[in-house]
Amino acid sequence: VPELTAVLAMEAEAATRVLPPGLRRRLGSLARFDPDLVLEDFTDGRAAGILSEAEILITGWGCPLVDDRVLTLAPSLRAIFHTAGTVKSHLSAAVWERGIVVSSAARANAVPVAQFTVGATLLAGKRAFGLSRWYATGEHKSRAGSLHLGNEDRTVGIVGASLIGRLVMDDLRERGFRLLVADPYLDPAEAEILGARLVGLDDLVTGSDVVTLHAPALPETRHLMDGRRIALMRDGAVLINTARGTLIDTGALVDHCATGRIDAVLDVTDPTPLPLGHPLFALPNVFLTPHIAGAQGREQQRLGAFAVDEIERWACGEPLHGRVSAADLPRIA
Ligand SMILES: NC(=O)c1ccc[n+]([C@@H]2O[C@H](COP(=O)([O-])OP(=O)(O)OC[C@H]3O[C@@H](n4cnc5c(N)ncnc54)[C@H](O)[C@@H]3O)[C@@H](O)[C@H]2O)c1
């Protein structure tokens, strides 16, 4: 019988997606937990009883705030394993103050986002998104001839050497793209190891055929792509955003895309979801998806598997792969 005691806290529906039966069995070999009890609310009458024993909290989408009151109910709590990305919205300062170990599955969620970005980069290089819409109106022949199609001899600018940004660089480097990277936390030597040249954001924007955003939403990244920077983009360049909508000044983007000078691929917008009838929907050179780049459907068990692997590492005293510390918070997603 495992010695550790764990509790699940998230939306019950999220728990079924991130922790299917096979993973629950594995978890059951590492920690004692009630597979039928998923706390959606810490004021749930059953919460006080099960939290009083818990050493591990396994959180996920829809987890209520873990605050002082919850920590008082859980005096034995030593670690929180999150089966999704950001931990900022559900962990209060008290968690960090008490020195509770925190792990996030953001590294696992980064994989599908990076795949989406690479796919978008390759298709955008062929102008596939716009040409698909122009095909339907019969304009594709005149359009295709005037565009510099293809993925040869291309430079991609990665904004943010984040978990996702690094996976994107790993993939595109292998495909022979030239890479520029802008990130205030990166040094040139580290960029070189990633196969990219570290430049300022303006130089990245002027020097790239594709600009792809992978920085977190922070006060200093709000409208990082404002009208002035969007105007610096090369003719025919593509702006990809799988990060957060607020990184782009949407009004300025609409203006620049409407002239047809640049294209955009946007998985996130400001606001997300985009209201029906928004001008971006009408632009043939803007390809929009409804925030699907992160783990969806069958990809979601990857997040639970990451958390269970982390619990195993933690139980064995091995270093965690998704450890988050309070000092990281001001610069991470
Ligand atoms: N579309 C989706 O479904 C989806 C899914 C997951 C994450 N995201 C978003 O993707 C982005 C990247 O996520 P992540 O988990 O890779 O992030 P992360 O937490 O790994 O990013 C942190 C890193 O970003 C870099 N950074 C910080 N400030 C920067 C700045 N001003 N300019 C450039 N770089 C900066 C630093 O290297 C920092 O270490 C975030 O905006 C996140 O919210 C979207």
String of DSSP letters for 226-264: -HHHHHHSPTT-EEEE-S-GGGB-HHHHHHHHHTTSSEE
The answer to whether 79 touches 103, Cβ cutoff 8 Å, is yes
What contacts 298, CB < 8 A, 6 or more positions away? none
Q: Average pLDDT per run of 10 along the chain, which is 333 residues long?
A: 94 97 96 94 92 97 97 97 97 97 98 98 95 93 79 97 98 98 98 98 98 98 98 97 98 98 97 97 97 97 98 98 97 98
Q: Tell me, in angstroms, the distance from the centre of ligand 1 to residue 218's CA.
A: 9
Question: Tell me: the pLDDT tens digits for 83-99?
Answer: 999 999 999 999 999 99
Model pLDDT, residue 76: 97
Q: Which residue has the tokens 């920077």?
A: 229
Model pLDDT, residue 287: 98
Q: Which residue has the tokens 């982390």?
A: 310
The answer to whether 39 touches 14, Cβ cutoff 8 Å, is no
Strand 178-182 with 210-213, pairing: unpaired
Supply the residue whose CA is at minimum distance from atom 6 of ligand 1: 294
Distance CA 255, CA 230 (A): 10
Q: Tell me, in angstroms, the distance from the centre of ligand 1 to residue 252's CA.
A: 22
Residue 97 CA, distance from chain mean position: 26
Model pLDDT, residue 148: 75
| DSSP label of 64 | P
Model pLDDT, residue 141: 87
Q: Which two tokens stand for residue 54?
A: 């818990």
Q: Which two tokens stand for residue 201?
A: 């954001």
* Candidate of 211, 214, 292 to mutate for ligand 1, largest count of ligand atoms within 8 Å of Cβ: 214
CB of residue 290 inside a 6 A radius of ligand 1 = no
Model pLDDT, residue 143: 82
- The phi-psi region of residue 57 (left if phi > 0; otherwise alpha if psi is between -120 and 50; otherwise beta) is beta
CB-based burial of residue 297 (10 Å sphere; 0-12 exposed, 13-18 middle, 19+ buried)?
exposed
Model pLDDT, residue 149: 87
CB of residue 215 inside a 6 A radius of ligand 1 = yes
Distance CA 285, CA 238 (A): 9
Model pLDDT, residue 146: 67
